[in-house]
Amino acid sequence: VVIENLGGPLRTAPHADGPSDPASIRRSNLGLILRHLRDQGPRSRARLAAETGLSKATTSALVGDLVERGLAVEGSLEREGLVGRPGMAVELHGRSVGGLGIEINVDYLSATAVDLRGDVVAEATRPIDAATGPAEVVLDAVGELAGAVLSELGSKSVWPAGIAVAAPGMIDHPSGTVRYAPNIGWRDVHLVDELSARLGPGAPSVTVENDAKLGAVAEYAEVSRSGVRDLLYITGDVGVGGGIISGGRLLRGSNGFAGEIGHMPLDPGMRPCACGRRGCWETMVGLAAFLREVAPIDDPVHDPSRDLEERLGELIARHDDGDERVVDGVAVIAAALGTGISILVDVLNPRHVVLGGYFAYLGDRLIEPVSDSLRERLIDPEVELPIVSASSLGLTAAARGGAHLALERVFADPTVVEV
Ligand SMILES: [Zn+2]
């Protein structure tokens, strides 16, 4: 069973339970060409044939089919490639095909739709109160937001290939269920069934995935064209979550819970964690730990009713003014972050580590000491260190990742888009 192929080296070897009838083989080869164009960029038919191992005649026929469906376009001169031999290039098109991602947060919903090239076609947000409101009310709001964005796509003549919802918690992706999301108080909510029922017949298919995993998918889409295939995304909020792309694939694990890195037992102080256990990494580097380290408990930056961005801005200003408490606090967080990331780097060997959430706000104040701690622990000086960077996608990462995930249907089988 093929899960999402988010990019990377082509898998041309026939699989035991792979397609065998001509129609299935054709669908699978169309997907192969389309993914190759996405991952490698525009190139000539001849080069596409050489690189995919398909014959020139087959490649030409497949390209013709993709062009007819509006998923590829040809005509412009090939910009890269062999010197002195410019030819007609085939490139990804798909301007009229969109994927929709919707993120459920504690206090807002965020929707992003992207076209096949990854460009944003529509965006919207809605305030909600998921912490105290019942799941039905949140689901109604998700349905209403999805409906609004779907009509916007319709007015722009963009066909929606699918909807992927990002939820903060443990997700059973195959059954479309949110198993446990402590921050919004959900347990066993059948999100896919509930949302599909609200959208009615004829609506695009719905999936659900963990928000940090989808954040990783969005970050991966940003860097995969530069050849990165292994990426670790770490997001710091009240909770600390992770998303792992390994060999170009989203790692889910046997129960779908891979990436619950906030609960690695790393805290020697054994502080209690929201998950019910003690000593989780989250209690050392989560937002609560950060605020505890950088300001006394009666400081206004602890006030949860104040906007988080504003509070973080205030703390960054104090840090840059040399406020000792904040400088020391950031150093404590950076050291604890470095310990956990060192373990994850040893286990996963990522090429790129992207920090999201409040970590991204602190930027180089955290990234430099974390990179230093990775360098200090390097066993073999010949080995390249992973690149550590701050997410540039901000609050839209998970919704955008959902939009990419929704489009995987088209990359797996381009014939879902009608001629
Ligand atoms: Zn925990």
- For every residue of 187-231, DSSP letters joined together read EEE-HHHHHHHHH-TTPPPEEEEEHHHHHHHHHHHHHGGGT---E
**Bridge partners of residue 195, in order along the sequence:** none
So what's the pLDDT on residue 239?
A: 86
Residue with token string 């959902």:
402
CA of 86 to the centre of ligand 1 (A): 57
CA of 276 to the centre of ligand 1 (A): 6
CA of 386 to the centre of ligand 1 (A): 26
Residue 219, amino acid: E
Distance CA 26, CA 415 (A): 9
DSSP sequence for 30-96: HHHHHHHHHHH--B-HHHHHHHHT--HHHHHHHHHHHHHTTSEEEEEEP-SSSTT---EEEEE--TT
In a 13 Å sphere around the CA of 325, the CA atoms on its Cβ side amount to: 12
Distance CA 244, CA 41 (A): 24
CA of 397 to the centre of ligand 1 (A): 23
Residue 84, amino acid: G
CA of 236 to the centre of ligand 1 (A): 14
Ranges of the chain with pLDDT below 70: 1-19, 76-87
User: 245 Cβ partners below 8 Å, 6+ apart?
Assistant: 6, 216, 217, 220, 229, 230, 231, 232, 233, 251
Distance of CA 206 to the CA centre of its chain: 17
So what's the pLDDT on residue 406?
A: 97
DSSP state of 43: B
DSSP sequence for 263-283: GSB--TT--B-TTS-BSBTHH
CA of 278 to the centre of ligand 1 (A): 7
Residue with token string 């939009």:
403
Distance CA 42, CA 73 (A): 10
CA of 329 to the centre of ligand 1 (A): 21
CA of 292 to the centre of ligand 1 (A): 18
CA of 282 to the centre of ligand 1 (A): 7
CA of 28 to the centre of ligand 1 (A): 42
E strands present in 281-364 = 352-357
Distance CA 351, CA 380 (A): 16
C-alpha distances out from residue 22 to 18, 19, 48, Å: 12, 8, 21
CA of 377 to the centre of ligand 1 (A): 26
CA of 240 to the centre of ligand 1 (A): 9
CA of 272 to the centre of ligand 1 (A): 8
So what's the pLDDT on residue 396?
A: 85
CA of 17 to the centre of ligand 1 (A): 39
Distance CA 100, CA 186 (A): 23
Distance CA 293, CA 337 (A): 14
Residue 173, amino acid: H
**Bridge partners of residue 355, in order along the sequence:** 234, 390
Contact predicate 149/114, CB 8 Å: no
CA of 283 to the centre of ligand 1 (A): 8
**Bridge partners of residue 233, in order along the sequence:** 243, 354
So what's the pLDDT on residue 1?
A: 33
pTM across the whole model: 0.88
CA of 360 to the centre of ligand 1 (A): 22
User: 85 Cβ partners below 8 Å, 6+ apart?
Assistant: none
User: 54 Cβ partners below 8 Å, 6+ apart?
Assistant: 29, 32, 33, 48, 62
So what's the pLDDT on residue 12?
A: 39
Q: Look up residue 374 and give its two tokens.
A: 């990775």
CA of 55 to the centre of ligand 1 (A): 53
CA of 262 to the centre of ligand 1 (A): 6
**Bridge partners of residue 88, in order along the sequence:** 77
Mind listing the pLDDT tens digit for each residue in 282-303?
Answer: 999 999 999 999 999 999 999 9
